[in-house]
Amino acid sequence: MSESPQSSAVTQNSHKPVKAKVRITNLHGSLTSELPYGERSLSRQFKVPLGTDISQVEPIIPSLIFGQASVYVSLAIPSSGIAQTMMIVTASGNKTQLINQSYLFSQGQIRTLVLVNVSPGGGALSFFPLELNDLN
């Protein structure tokens, strides 16, 4: 399936996060991704420590449609100064993992994680979201 390129304007808030925090926002930019279970371009996202069973927790970002950005999510950074966090993406209404990607964050960072299609040709959600370094 071929889709015409589209753009989305997203307002970014680049004010520095409070001490011992990192701020993350997500943008759903995977126009043609075919998600299972009859859902098209909807996702739920979890930001959890490594090894967390997501069947026992609720998503931190309930759902995004194509072109939609999430609110900023603040994550605490431990005294070591670095936090390792899993970003898990599922289809809306399901907890089967479509993306399970690990990130290292340090305090004061702002990141945008963009869900994208596999290139070339699109049609499938990439297992590796595009990470934009907004601050630090």
The reported pLDDT for the residue numbered 60 is: 85
- 3-state SS class at 54: helix
- Going along the chain from its start, the domains and CATH numbers come out as 21-135 (2.60.40)
Report the share of the chain in percent with pLDDT over 70: 74
- Provide the pLDDT for residue 1: 42
Joined together, the tokens standing for residue 49 give 């420590």
Query: Rounded CA gap, 90 and 76, in Å?
Result: 23
**pLDDT of amino acid 7:** 55
Q: What is the mean pLDDT of residues 102-119?
A: 87
Quick check: 55 pLDDT over 70?
A: yes
